[in-house]
Each structure stands twice: as C-alpha cells, then as structure tokens.
C-alpha cells in the first residue's frame, strides 16, 4: 500500500529521527504487516501511573525453588506453554524415557551440560543449546552438571525454520549447524552405563501414563526419515544485521510455530550511521504478547536486570528502551547479551507460582 505522510517524518524508519524527538512504530502482525512510524517530542513510555491488567511484568526465576523431574509452568495459552525445568546427575528422570503427547518440546539450556538419549540416538547439550524434541518422541536427559532449561512447548503445530527470503538458505544459521542424533554413540554409552531405561512416561492433556518394560526401550538399530530430534547452539547462529539501520526483532527468528515465534538475541555490532537508531525502537507489539528470557551478558536496553529473569509485555503496552539505555547510546559500539524471545498471538496467562517471584515495580523502570 502507498505510504501517506504528514508533518515531521523520516524517509527511512529507525533512521534520521528529528533531533530531540522519538520514533514509535505502530505495526500489525509483529513486524510483518502494515506499519507507520510516529514522531513524538517525548517517548510513549512517559506515564506517571498505570492501573489495570496491561502493566508489564518481570519475574526473577533465580528465586524459584527448583523442583526435580517436572516442569514449573510460567506462562501459557492454547498454543504455547513456557516452563522451567531442572535436572541433575541423580534425578529420577534419568531412569525413564519421557514422551510429550501434548506437543513439540523445545528445551533451551540456560545452565549445565550433558547428553540426551532418544529413540533416534544420542544428542549432546551445553549452556546455550536448543534441544528440539518432536511430539511423542521418547527422550531421557543424562545431566553431567546441574542443568536448568527454559522449556517452550508448541501444542498446536510443529516447530519449523523461519522463512529466509532474499537472504537465502544459509542466513541466520546454516542447516549444517543442526546436530542430528548419533545412534552408534548411544548404543556404546548404554553399554557403558549399564542402566537400561525400562520406564516410559507419556504426558497427554497434562496427565501422565506410565509404561513398564522388561528391557531397555532404547533398542532402535536403525532409522531413516525427516522426523527426528536435533540440537542447535547459539554459537552457530549468525545475527542478521545492518550497519546503516536498526532491524526489527523478527530478523532474529530462530524457530516458528503456529501463532508464535522464538527469536534469539545475540551479541552484535551496533549501527554505525550517525543518524541511525541503535536501541530497540518504541512500539506496542499490537498483535503479540512479548516474552523475553534474559540468558546471559549485559542487557543494554533494560535497567536492573540479571541473568535468569523473564519479562512479559502484553500486546497494546507501549514499550522500548529504558532512559539509561538511551543515555548510553552515544558510547555503545556493540551489544553483549544473549536472550530468548517468544512472541505469542494469543494472550498469555501467568501461572500463580510465577507471581511469587514477580518484581512488582518493574513498570516504574521506564520513569526517569
């Protein structure tokens, strides 16, 4: 559609913003639909008070008491559930195979390392690994170190690679970076461990069914096909970037599912053009609830955050960089942060247990 314009405006979004003014993006379908850029004399986050359910929320997951074996649900809707999961070398889950019949399971390793036994072979994980387990595929985590996972469960579709468009098949991450199971290595490990897995636990409609077998359930001697578990590490992700203009968060999409996306924010050089915006632009995320899990590094656009926190910015809530981030912009040359973002089309509910670790005054952090 042809763009109309009035008053003071930019010729290119996120660039050439009039001095002393701020740009706010109002767009549909995340950052893919119709969009306009509004120029304001003050940021849209200059509120004095917020009353009602649209307040942003910050949760300090470091303060959650670990529970072994299960998932601690954090946020959820009909399409996606976001949870926390802990495991260690003595966890009871290492003696059973788990199958999720409710959906696909994407684990992001926040801390720890180890291996994953699967029906297709052995996988390895470490801090910064995504472990993708398709629906109903049996798997067992064998933790080498105390491990913490952010768990993203897709309940209405498979995870798929994002569309890469004009940048081509190898953009953001090369398919060769995806690690596939090693059946021979798993067979060798099982002989060494001498701990056959004879219990299978299946989750269906949040209820659990237990199956018992006489022999090891990981007995596959061969397989072929295009359905299998895999891993992808943040070290193998190549951030999309432009030295002239700030790119939208959607440029960092890692996995796509029905009604939600998973993005990974990684260290990268900042824009070098003198008139380019170097911080996330002010926006409302009109059609999506936005969740960001802060994994590691220094979180440039937010104040008073640390690793292991998670934020929820509901659709319709205007947000953007904190005042301190704006003040630091002239001297910053690169970002130094690792974070996972989940944008969900349907409104997300907050699990009551998550409310116990909420930082109540988070909404005030935009106020000068």
Is residue 348 a contact partner of residue 81, using CB atoms and an 8 Å limit?
no
The structure's pTM equals 0.92
Quickly state the pLDDT bin for 335 (edges 50, 70, 90): confident
Domain boundaries, the chain: 22-58+239-366, 66-234
Is residue 132 pLDDT above 90, yes or no?
yes
Is residue 278 pLDDT above 80, yes or no?
no
Give the residue, 8 or 96, on which the prediction is more confident: 96
| C-alpha separations of 200 from 69, 164, 214 in Å | 14, 38, 12
Asked if 22-58+239-366 and 66-234 have one fold, the answer is yes
| C-alpha separations of 71 from 209, 264, 351 in Å | 16, 22, 12
Phi, psi at residue 306, to the nearest 5°? -140, 165
| Architecture of the domain whose range is 66-234 | Sandwich (2.60)
Residue 202's pLDDT is: 97
Distance of CA 261 to the CA centre of its chain: 8
- Of 37, 40, 42, residue with least CA distance to 26: 37
Calpha distance 231→15 (Å, rounded):
37
Calpha distance 365→180 (Å, rounded):
43
pLDDT digits (tens, 9 = 90+) for 62-117: 999 887 668 999 999 999 999 999 998 666 667 899 999 999 999 999 999 999 99
Residue 67's pLDDT is: 78
- How many other C-beta atoms can be found within 10 angstroms of the C-beta atom of residue 15? 18
pLDDT digits (tens, 9 = 90+) for 246-257: 777 777 889 999
Q: Which of 28-32, 263-267, 330-334 has the highest mean pLDDT?
A: 263-267
At the topology level, CATH places domain 22-58+239-366 in: Jelly Rolls (2.60.120)
């Amino acid at each position: 559609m042809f763009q109309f314009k009035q008053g003071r405006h930019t010729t290119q979004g996120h660039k050439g913003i009039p001095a002393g003014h701020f740009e706010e993006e109002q767009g549909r379908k995340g950052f893919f639909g119709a969009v306009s850029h509004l120029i304001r004399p003050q940021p849209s986050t200059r509120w004095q008070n917020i009353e009602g359910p649209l307040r942003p929320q910050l949760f300090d997951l470091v303060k959650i008491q670990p529970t072994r074996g299960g998932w601690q649900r954090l946020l959820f809707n009909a399409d996606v559930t976001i949870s926390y999961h802990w495991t260690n070398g003595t966890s009871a889950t290492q003696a059973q195979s788990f199958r999720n019949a409710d959906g696909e399971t994407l684990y992001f390793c926040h801390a720890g390392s180890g291996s994953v036994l699967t029906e297709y072979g052995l996988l390895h994980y470490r801090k910064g690994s995504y472990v993708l387990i398709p629906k109903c595929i049996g798997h067992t985590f064998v933790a080498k170190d105390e491990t913490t996972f952010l768990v993203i469960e897709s309940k209405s579709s498979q995870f798929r690679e994002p569309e890469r468009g004009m940048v081509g098949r190898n953009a953001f991450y090369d398919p060769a970076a995806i690690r596939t199971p090693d059946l021979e290595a798993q067979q060798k490990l099982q002989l060494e461990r001498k701990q056959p897995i004879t219990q299978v636990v299946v989750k269906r409609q949040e209820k659990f069914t237990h199956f018992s077998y006489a022999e090891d359930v990981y007995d596959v001697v061969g397989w072929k096909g295009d359905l299998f578990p895999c891993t992808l590490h943040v070290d193998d992700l190549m951030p999309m970037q432009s030295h002239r203009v700030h790119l939208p968060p959607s440029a960092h999409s890692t996995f796509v599912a029905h009604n939600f996306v998973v993005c990974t924010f990684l260290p990268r050089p900042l824009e070098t053009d003198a008139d380019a915006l170097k911080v996330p632009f002010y926006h409302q995320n009109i059609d999506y609830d936005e969740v960001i899990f802060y994994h590691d590094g220094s979180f440039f656009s937010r104040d008073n955050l640390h690793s292991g926190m998670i934020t929820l910015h509901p659709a319709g809530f205007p947000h953007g960089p904190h005042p301190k981030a704006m003040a630091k912009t002239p001297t910053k040359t690169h970002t130094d942060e690792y974070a996972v973002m989940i944008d969900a089309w349907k409104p997300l509910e907050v699990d009551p247990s998550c409310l116990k670790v909420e930082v109540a005054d988070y909404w005030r952090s935009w106020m000068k």
